Amino acid sequence: MKPITLKDIALKLNISVTTVSKALQGRRDVSKSTRQSVVDLAEEMNYVPNSVAVNLRTQQTKTIGVIIPTVVHQFFSKVIDGVIEEAEKQGYLVITLQSNENFEFEKKQLQLLMQKRVDGILISLSNETQHCNHLNEIIKNEIPIVLFDKIYKLANCSKVYIDDQQAAYNAVTSLIKKGYKRIAHFRGSLTPQNSIDRFLGYKRALTDNDIEFDASLVYLCNNNDDFNDGYNNANKLLIEQNNVDAIFAITDLIAVGILKCFNEKGIKIPKDIAVFGFSDWFMASVVTPSLSSVKQPSFEMGRKATEILIDEIKNLNKNISYSFQNVVLPTTLAIRDSI
Amino acid sequence: MKPITLKDIALKLNISVTTVSKALQGRRDVSKSTRQSVVDLAEEMNYVPNSVAVNLRTQQTKTIGVIIPTVVHQFFSKVIDGVIEEAEKQGYLVITLQSNENFEFEKKQLQLLMQKRVDGILISLSNETQHCNHLNEIIKNEIPIVLFDKIYKLANCSKVYIDDQQAAYNAVTSLIKKGYKRIAHFRGSLTPQNSIDRFLGYKRALTDNDIEFDASLVYLCNNNDDFNDGYNNANKLLIEQNNVDAIFAITDLIAVGILKCFNEKGIKIPKDIAVFGFSDWFMASVVTPSLSSVKQPSFEMGRKATEILIDEIKNLNKNISYSFQNVVLPTTLAIRDSI
DNA sequence: TTGTATGCGTTATCAA
DNA sequence: TTGATAACGCATACAA
């Protein structure tokens, strides 16, 4: 059964398509009686407006695109939740794409979204991404774009993120205040901004507390497999170091990998070595011992980024100029048994 | 800057839009030289085809919609992963919507997808859903639809799911084989098919092994808050029962809630009481003790459902008739320290 | 209050 | 090999 169109309704009622269109839009330059009969017939015939036609005509799709590294990730799925909820509230649909932490993929996905003529784009950059030429392409085409989480600071658009450096600083400081002195850091890849910032926060917390930074205490986790990276590096650390009393891990998954290693080896947490995570996934509260972690507002990040994006879309449509926003969301510490 | 159109290219080259269109489609009823110049200019002008116009003209959107209860859920995010991957491979985009376990919402989301003229729909039913009139509406409009995971058996469409009853049977049987005799069941809501099936599997495993079914050992978890449902019911069970030696929980989250309760109360797992979960979330392998669970193929479920859906879309386009598929995916048991 | 004409950007038919 | 024309379904400026 082919979908009913305005034409079908017009034909049956012996009026013009225009009038049907107007009636359905509830405008009052159409008599109450015809409006009613149109609405009734549309209902009866199960008329469903064709968004594609509307989109072509109105030049907007009421759809936004989101690109994230991966959906199977508690942080990002919560972000998506926030995005979908806010988008829906404002009548927008959401197309989700993954970059798989791959720059070429990320570029391709942006291209797809442009073709699809989405009204705006949300993106959290892949770890590989080291410039924003591909974003500039979008910006040049006047498609609003908002960066979140993994941002590129120089990009010429709005951004929603957390103060990674400060969050890491707070976490490490809390370790120091508890008396830990020789604190290792399990860091992420070298290029992503938040990996760098968390490392810098770690370093600054040390120096601010007169603890000398020791590069040999920094372990690199960059295999896109946090849990095993944490597990393996924990093993390595046990061999290489003998007086580390705490570890600040850049993600909860890495921290949980560390926990597993230590639990297996009979290392007592936090007595022998304390562990601090980052992101506060649900898991953190149910592992043994429960994991201290930095709480970051994932749902709110998605929601806020979407709100800003849709604002920009609306401004653009109304030809109102706007300036880009830099929203820094607050983080807190969830202190649990692992420290 | 407004997007470049075929017309812009045609104008510059002083040829017709038709020819430009043909050239870009790589057809050979256009001379090699003009084809080349068109392609070159398109490249130079950064031409991006307008999908909306293409969609209107070709009457297909190359987009599919997915409706799931919630995205913040490891099982569903893995399903989505499978969906996106398969869809992408076949050149389709994915719009994700959530029903929030609410029937009215589910209906509304279906309506939205119809408006959007998606080529097909994937859906995992909400717990509230108890009939498929809303699905029939879609089917009547000849939009292919594939049910997965939370299916409605009588629906007239393809389905991809697991044999919940058998999976539960296997899990409970493995408990019995280990010597557990008084096995409680933490079940889900009363209406969803997989909640019913898992319960039936539990029951059948008991009777097949000459263990009398005791309704007082069945605890209901239906507050859409599995972790706390598990935690609270575990507390309740400790008060009400004194010789239960194992619990089969309908989800890992419920099982982890049980673990937390028992760990707090000093109940030894599995010595005092064994616990078996369902779904095998990542979490299961890192909690203490590690949780035995039923592994179900989430990614593959999404991938397979998408494959079937797109097949049906293609058949429909070619006017080839097809019959609905019932794909039952295999499950296995992940046996760990909790039993 | 109603309807005619036009166009959104593309593809497809068919004649030149 | 090329292009004029129509059509996809809808919304809007404007005329009646």
The partner residue sitting opposite B84, judged by closest CB among A96, A141, A227, is: A96
Residue A54 inside a domain? The answer is no
- Regarding whether A241 and A187 lie in a shared domain, the answer is yes
Would you state the pLDDT for residue A107?
A: 96
- Regarding whether B123 and B203 lie in a shared domain, the answer is no
Task: List the domain range (segments joined by +) for residue B100.
Answer: 62-162+298-329
Please report which confidence band the pLDDT of residue B156 belongs to, taking 50, 70 and 90 as the band edges: very high
Residues 1-60 of A with CB under 8 A from B: 1, 3, 46, 48-53, 55-56
Q: Which residue of B has its CA nearest to A282?
A: B283
State percent of chain B over pLDDT 90: 98
- Per-residue pLDDT tens over the stretch B118-127: 999 999 999 9
Residue A28 belongs to a domain with what CATH number? Answer: 1.10.260.40
Q: Is the peptide bond before A144 cis (omega within 30 degrees of 0)?
A: no
Residue B188 has pLDDT above 90, yes or no: yes
Residue B130 inside a domain? The answer is yes
Residue B112 has pLDDT above 80, yes or no: yes
**Cβ contact, residue pair A51, B77, below 8 Å:** no
Residue A1 inside a domain? The answer is no
Q: What's the mean pLDDT when you consider all of chain A?
A: 96
- Regarding whether A101 and A138 lie in a shared domain, the answer is yes
- Regarding whether B84 and B26 lie in a shared domain, the answer is no
- Regarding whether A240 and A123 lie in a shared domain, the answer is no
Chain B interface test: which of A8, A46, A71 (most B C-beta within 10 Å): A71
**Cβ contact, residue pair B51, A96, below 8 Å:** no
Residue B101 has pLDDT above 90, yes or no: yes
Would you state the pLDDT for residue B66?
A: 98
- Regarding whether A185 and A273 lie in a shared domain, the answer is yes
For A29 and D15, how far is CA from C1' in angstroms?
Answer: 15
Q: What's the mean pLDDT when you consider all of chain B?
A: 96
Residue B339 inside a domain? The answer is no
Q: Measuring CA to CA, how many Å separate A268 from each of A159, A245, A293, A339, B259? A: 41, 11, 18, 11, 21
- Per-residue pLDDT tens over the stretch B274-320: 999 999 999 999 999 999 999 999 999 999 999 999 999 999 999 89
Residue A153 inside a domain? The answer is yes
Q: Which residues of chain A have pLDDT under 70?
A: none
Please report which confidence band the pLDDT of residue B1 belongs to, taking 50, 70 and 90 as the band edges: confident
- Regarding whether A203 and A136 lie in a shared domain, the answer is no
- Regarding whether B291 and B184 lie in a shared domain, the answer is yes
- Regarding whether B172 and B121 lie in a shared domain, the answer is no
Exposure string of B73-99, with b = 16+ CB inside 10 Å and e = fewer, is bbbbbbbbbbbbbbbbeeebbbbbbbb
Residue B55 inside a domain? The answer is no
For A50 and D9, how far is CA from C1' in angstroms?
Answer: 7
For A53 and C2, how far is CA from C1' in angstroms?
Answer: 23
- Regarding whether A174 and A276 lie in a shared domain, the answer is yes
Residue A70 belongs to a domain with what CATH number? Answer: 3.40.50.2300
Residue B28, CB, strand C, below 7 Å: no
State percent of chain B over pLDDT 70: 100
Would you state the pLDDT for residue B18?
A: 95
Would you state the pLDDT for residue A2?
A: 87
Tally of structural domains, chain A: 3
- Per-residue pLDDT tens over the stretch A154-180: 999 999 999 999 999 999 999 999 999
CA distance B59 to B206: 54
Across the strands, what pairs with A251?
none
Residue B11, CB, strand C, below 7 Å: no
Instruction: Give nucleotides in strand D with any atom < 7 A to a protein C-beta.
Output: 1-5, 7-13
